[in-house]
Structure 1
Amino acid sequence: MKQIEPVMPEELDIVLDGAEFLSKAAAEEERIQDKMIRDAASDGGMFLHLLVSAVKFENCRFWESSFERGGFTDVIFQSCDFSGCDWSGGYFERVHFTSCKGVGAKFSSVTMKNVTVKDCNLDYVNFDGARLEKIVIEDTRLNSSNLTQCKCRQVTWKRAELVNASFFKTSLRGMDFTDSIINGLVLSEDNSELRGAVVDVFQAAELAKRMGLIIK
């Protein structure tokens, strides 16, 4: 799978007060473009309907903040903490999340294309009803996460932790989990989500127990 990387200018304008800048842009419905936002912090911030392109967020902390129905194109999140944030209904294209924390974040009904998530902690994250296309999730925790009723195309897992993750009514066809941890997946009663998934022999033996099979 070939991903399209974020397109960034050689130089970005540095924003001094990132949280205030985002609040103003949201209130005035202004597009944010070609910016470096570093060390911004907000608890419970309201950043609804933001339109962001060619922006790098670095070492930012947004706890329990709302970014609902935002549009993020050619954006990099580096070493940020957005635990408990609500990104529902948003659009993400050519976006990188690297070394970020988003425990309990909500990404329900988002659309993501050409997105890379690397070295992140997304335990308890909610991706219910998301549309995911050309996604790479690498060295990332999504334990007890919800990825139910998602539409997936070309999703790649590399050393992901998915313990007790829910893929209820999400087809895993074509996804390779052989170097990931998938203990305790939550699936529908007939386990139909597993059809076409790629697993190793040990994972297959564990999954077979769900179907009442005994492997000797």
Structure 2
Amino acid sequence: MATITGKTLALDAVTAGNQYVDCELTYSNQDIRIEEVAFDKCRFQQTDFKTSEWLDCTFRGCQFLNCQFQQSYLYRCAFNACQLLGSDFTAARLKDTTIVDSRADYANFAEAVLTGVTMTATRLLEASFQAVTVKRLLNFNRCDLTRADLTESRLKLVDLRSCQIEALAFTPGLVRGCKIDPLQAVTFAAALGLDIQD
């Protein structure tokens, strides 16, 4: 694997098998199909990644503020210490993908298909997971899901046990099988309108 450091180059010029460190990546003039690439502290000038395809890619310390990933494919990708605030993954497909130690407040995953996705130590304030399809597992590990929206999403394969879930929005008829801890059960019960008394 070659390491390219401190260069400015077009996204079209990114080559499979390379690592890009502290690079400035300009716009792509063609459909984005990138595989087996590591991006470390790179800056992306482009914000429109609609219908793009990313296979076996890692992103460390990269910023994708308000970027558009609608209907994109992300397979076996890893985001570490990234800024994903306001990014739009509507109707995207994420498979075996991890988001770790990142900020994704206001990110939109509505109608996405999430297969074996894990988010760890990530802030997801007011993020939207409306009407997502979960396959195999959606694991939130020590995430802040305050005011996140999971309405219209079947939560059977979702694990929330280690998360903050204040004011979490969900569809009561679709919570069956969701993994929560005993304290979170009180939050869910209150949201369902139960009157809990001593």
TM-score of the superposed pair, with normalisation by structure 1? 0.83
| Correspondence for 2:154 | 171
| Correspondence for 1:214 | 195
User: Contact 1:63–1:83 (CA<8 Å) still a contact in 2?
Assistant: no
Unmatched tracts of structure 1, length 5 or more: 1-10
Alignment of 1:72-87 (within 5 A): 72-87=54-69
Does residue 55 in structure 1 map to residue 45 in structure 2?
Answer: no
Amino acid at match of 2:169: V
| Correspondence for 2:22 | 39
Alignment of 1:101-180 (within 5 A): 101-153=83-135, 154-180=137-163
Most deviating of 48-57 and 163-172: 48-57
The percentage of aligned residue pairs carrying the same residue is 24
Q: C-alpha offsets along residues 63-113 of structure 1, whole Å, 9 cap, x if unaligned?
A: 671111111011000111111111111111111101111110111111111
Q: C-alpha offsets along residues 155-191 of structure 1, whole Å, 9 cap, x if unaligned?
A: 1111011111111111111322111111111223xx1
Unmatched tracts of structure 2, length 5 or more: none
User: Contact 1:129–1:151 (CA<8 Å) still a contact in 2?
Assistant: yes
For 1:37 and 1:67, the matched residues in 2 are separated by 19
Amino acid at match of 2:192: M
Amino acid at match of 2:79: F
Amino acid at match of 1:180: C
User: Contact 1:62–1:83 (CA<8 Å) still a contact in 2?
Assistant: no
Name the SS of the counterpart of 1:207 in structure 2.
helix
For 2:14 and 2:52, the matched residues in 1 are separated by 11
Amino acid at match of 1:160: C
1:46 Cα deviation after fit? 5.8
For 1:202 and 1:64, the matched residues in 2 are separated by 43
Name the SS of the counterpart of 2:186 in structure 1.
helix
1:195 Cα deviation after fit? 1.5
Does residue 70 in structure 1 map to residue 52 in structure 2?
Answer: yes
1:15 Cα deviation after fit? 6.3
User: Contact 1:164–1:186 (CA<8 Å) still a contact in 2?
Assistant: yes
User: Contact 1:48–1:66 (CA<8 Å) still a contact in 2?
Assistant: no
> How many residues align structurally?
196
Name the SS of the counterpart of 1:205 in structure 2.
helix
User: Contact 1:31–1:50 (CA<8 Å) still a contact in 2?
Assistant: no
Name the SS of the counterpart of 1:204 in structure 2.
helix
TM-score of the superposed pair, with normalisation by structure 2? 0.90
